[in-house]
Chains A and B, each alone.
Chain A
Amino acid sequence: MNPFSSETRLRDMIRAIRACKTAAEERAVVRKECAAIRASINENDPDYRHRNIAKLMFIHMLGYPTHFGQMECLKLIASAEFPEKRIGYLGLMLLLDERQEVLMLVTNSLKQDLNHANQYIVGLALCALGNICSAEMARDLAPEVERLLQFRDPNTRKKAALCAIRIIKKVPDLAENFINPAAALLKEKHHGVLITGVQLCTDLCKVSPEALEHFRKKCTEGLVRTLKDVVNSPYAPEYDIAGITDPFLHIRLVRLLRVLGQGNADASDLMNDILAQVATKTESNKNAGNAILYECVETIMSIEDNGGLRVLAINILGRFLSNRDNNIRYVALNMLMKAITVDTQAVQRHRATILECVKDSDASIRKRALELVYLLVNESNVKPLTKELIEYLEVSDQEFKGDLTAKICSIIAKFSPEKIWYIDQMLKVLSEAGNFVKDEAWHALIVVISNASDLHGYSVRALYRAFQTSAEQETLVRVAVWCIGEYGDMLINNVALLDIENPITVTGSDAVDVVEVSIKRHTSDLTTKSMSLIALLKLSSRFPSCSERIRDIIIQNRGSLVLELQQRSIEFNSVIEKHQNIRSALVERMPVLDEATFIGRRAGSSPAIVPTSNSASLNLPNGVAKPPAAPLVDLLDLSSDDVPAPSSSGGGFLQDLLGGVDLLPGLNQTAISGTNEAPRTGTDILLDLLSIETSPTQSSSSITDILSSSQGDKSPVASLGEISSPPSLSTRATSAGADPMMDLLGGFSPNPPMPDNGPVYPSIVAFESSSLRITFDFSKAPGNPQKTTILATFTNMSQSIYTDFIFQAAVPKFLQLHLDPASSNTLPASGNGSITQNLRVTNSQHGKKSLVMRMRIAYKFNNEDILEEGQINNFPRGL
């Protein structure tokens, strides 16, 4: 005998494992046992197979790998003896699941055992088949199961019925074979067969409309009679639970009647009486009775209308709801959710009780109740319900606050009768649980405030007050900071005071305090800090007296490790210091945020372009003004700092929200050109930035010139044009700067263009160097948003003609690109004419991803081969 063979008995192994003090000890014991079992398996000794599998099952339960025992199970099943088969099938069900290929090998053994003379062996095979069979096995063995449904022994019939359920779930096509045998089972007297037969019919109805029709016609009356017999049956000790005969059978019968009665008035009529009897006669002092009542109520709610029964059902639910047992209350809430579609009034009557359940100590009940309350809210009760929920928000558990806040915000947004109420309630939520408020919710609040022009003053004052008490709530701080930035002057002058408020005395310095606190707080995240910086810039113009102090605060961020903050701080500082004359125009109040656009953004999916990095444009050859649009979006998109891509609505909205910066595109652009210049010239970015005015070289586009060009004729900025450097520069910048601006500002126009034939996309400059310029014009055929036609126009800016001009482009996998032939391959000098070429792009991820393209241009210039390459990622959004 092999010294390693598994001499230890199962009992001894379990003892040894239980005696282990540490996990390491346990692992050692298991390892040793597994080694012994493997050795024994290799010896192929049938005497120990039985014991090995038993041990492996225990080891498996502890979570150790046991796949090496799978074949042993098959051998046991193939043996002739009952004890071997019994443990073999158990091992099969435990150690394998339906996705393992080994399972296919057992099909033949199963088939033999299903035809075995011993009914217990047939039972084992049916049990294994019912628990783990795969679709292939179901197809192979369905005829056997069908035959066994008529087997003489009832215990085999019931097992076959459940097996059939598994089979029709795996292969619904087989359902029709089982309809007649299943209907025959409904006439049985044996409870086990009846229970499984009813269950089989229920599942058949789910997968096959013919089965439903068949049972509805042929079996409804019989089932009603069976249920009647069960309900009225005398005491039967074998099936009795808490004074009720076989509640399991009750429940299944009632459930099948529900399936049959749903959507069919005749069938519903047949069952009315018996349902009424079950609903009134069933004892409700024990769980078993309540389980039946619960099922019965659900059936009454689902079948065709019968007023009297419904009243009965609602009354039962009312009783459940006031029960002291948490289980019963839980199912009552569950049922009321379904009842609400049938009879809202009846459910409304229980509103107070349901509201109490929201405050229950049991998380499961709270969750159910909250869902229910959410469904109960309507225009007439929104105010008291919201009040209750917000009050509860103060005392609720931390882990429940997230759900609760989301629901409250949703209720407020959906049913708010007036704007002032909306703002008030949102402020309460923000002050109470601002850290749980989702981005969409506070974005929406800002949009509403922005639209309520008569409430600007009220909102900013209320936010100021709320900030004093709840400064730790991040989202409250953000909204407060935004509003103070926008409407700070209304805060200190008590402008537009409503009758209901008390005037407050706030100085400009107090307002700046708020923003300072929020920017300095170490818990503030990047979004809050960036918003604070913008607010500071705006306040510097609103409160000139605080200008110096604001500048000090802004300067403190000059050394921030976060590029975003550092850059903004430097830019804003420069605005305050050197551009007094344009500042007030730059930081004017934001235009009213368009609600329709915002809602559209939320619903639609126009994700923000989030270029992977600014450095993408750096590899463009000898470019002077790189296409700045993409980085500009990047800059505004705060959340893209290290988070991959913000949620579509969040990101897009944020850009709008910070649109204040849009008025400063020049600043951003200088920063970008500075950044881009850095590697080439080797000069410090900061130096470059700060020297914009003194050295208006070709390489650094001056802030003013971009402003003047992009905002060209608009009065506030027009005067700036005077400072601008050579006009050639500004023309160049126009094309570069204006497009992304249009894109960003597009959302703000009071009447957003909504042409019927699809949206219009601004043209972009795809590439530009001192010698070559490429512009893209976009068009889309209506009704086919995935396809975009791009008209590329190439212009030669140099003094010499280009010959053999070839444009090539490549796109990532989710795009398809088709290039039409170019209009010519010779490009005349000095912009005297151009080449055009059509590009057709199909975006398979339309709405999710934006276009991006790599391109290569080859041409001959004075008989010299020139090759230029670059990446275009400044495509407008939504292409």
Chain B
Amino acid sequence: MIHFVLLISRQGKVRLTKWYSPYTQKERTKVLRELSGVILTRGPKLCNFVEWRGYKVVYKRYASLYFCMCIDHEDNELEILEIIHHYVEILDRYFGSVCELDLIFNFHKAYYILDELLIAGELQESSKKTVARLIAAQDSLVEAAKEQRSSISNIIAQATK
């Protein structure tokens, strides 16, 4: 199972963290510090796996962002690379050639998408189209609620004028 997902920028800034196993706040900070130290310093040609505290961390760099997932020792590292790529493709499709700034300002969207992809540290959907559809449906629910709210507030505003 995936124990946590991290997105770290090349400068070591944290862009997304998702924990599927319980870690205290203190441990989380420590994990982040340790792993960014290990991963960011690795050369470009080396393999994408780092052994760490009896776990394996699979990471892949996309532009300025490192996507990292921590898995158990007996899990399939190559598949995790595919899952990372899968996630990146969905992000790309959603934002339209995604960049780090998109993920900073719309970090909650990145989380929503991740939640449609993984639950309990396991993959839930292999179709990019399905994920996109589910996210779009939920986004439109939010939009609809917003419109309704503004129209109500308009009515109230007009009524109280």
Contacts and interface: CB of A to CB of B under 8 A. Distances in A.
Chains A and B are bound partners:
yes
A239 interface: yes
Interface centre among B43, B119, B146 (most CB of A within 10 A): B119
Q: Which are the 6 A-B pairs with shortest beta-carbon distances? A: A291-B78, A326-B47, A162-B119, A130-B119, A166-B120, A130-B120
Contacts of B138: 82, 86, 120
Which size class do B's interface residues fall under? 35 or more
A248 B25 CA distance: 32
A331 B112 contact: no
A246 B105 contact: no
A363 B49 CA distance: 10
B123 A248 contact: yes
A579 B127 CA distance: 90
Interface stretch (A57-65, A524-532, A540-548, A794-802): A57-65
Contacts of A120: 134, 137-138, 141
Interface stretch (A33-41, A188-196, A720-728, A753-761): A188-196
Interface string A277-302: 00000000001101100110000000
A9 B154 CA distance: 21
7 contacts: A63-B14, A90-B115, A99-B22, A294-B76, A330-B77, A363-B46, A364-B46
Contacts of B123: 195-196, 199, 248
Interface in B2-30: 14-20, 22-25, 29
A195 B119 contact: no
A279 to B, nearest CB: 15
B65 to A, nearest CB: 14
B105 A11 contact: yes
A808 interface: no
B142 interface: yes
Chain A interface mostly helix, strand, loop or mixed? Answer: helix
Given A86-B142, A131-B20, A195-B126, A61 B14 contact: yes
Interface in B39-97: 43, 45-51, 76-79, 81-83, 86
Nearest to A334: B77
Nearest to B141: A82
A140 to B, nearest CB: 17
A90 B78 contact: no
B62 to A, nearest CB: 15
B22 A98 contact: yes
Interface residues of A, number: 67
Contacts of B129: 238
Nearest to B79: A291
Given A81-B145, A131-B120, A90 B134 contact: no
B108 A90 contact: yes
A83 B51 CA distance: 40
A420 to B, nearest CB: 37
B155 interface: no
A251 B79 contact: yes
Given A241-B86, A287-B78, A295-B79, 20 more contacts: A14-B105, A54-B108, A86-B142, A90-B111, A93-B115, A120-B141, A123-B134, A158-B125, A163-B119, A165-B120, A192-B124, A192-B127, A195-B125, A238-B130, A248-B86, A248-B126, A290-B78, A291-B79, A291-B82, A326-B48
B125 A192 contact: yes
A126 B119 contact: yes
Interface in A248-286: 248-249, 251, 255
Interface of A: 11, 14, 18, 54, 57-58, 61-63, 65, 81-83, 86-87, 90, 93-94, 97-99, 120, 123, 126-127, 130-131, 155, 158-159, 162-163, 165-166, 191-192, 195-196, 199, 238-239, 241, 246-249, 251, 255, 287-288, 290-291, 294-295, 326-331, 334, 361-365, 367
Contacts of B46: 326, 361-364
B128 to A, nearest CB: 8
B34 interface: no
Contacts of A328: 78
A239 B127 contact: yes
A327 B137 contact: no
B73 to A, nearest CB: 9
Contacts of A123: 134
B104 interface: yes
A61 B14 CA distance: 7
Contacts of B49: 327, 330, 364
B105 A248 contact: no
Contact of A330 (B15, B47, B83): B47
B130 A159 contact: no
Interface centre among A54, A83, A126 (most CB of B within 10 A): A83
A191 B108 contact: no
Nearest to B50: A364
B93 to A, nearest CB: 13
Given A130-B120, A192-B130, A327-B77, A97 B22 contact: yes
A157 B101 CA distance: 34
A90 B112 contact: yes
Contacts of B122: 162, 165, 196, 199
Nearest to B58: A327
A247 B124 contact: no
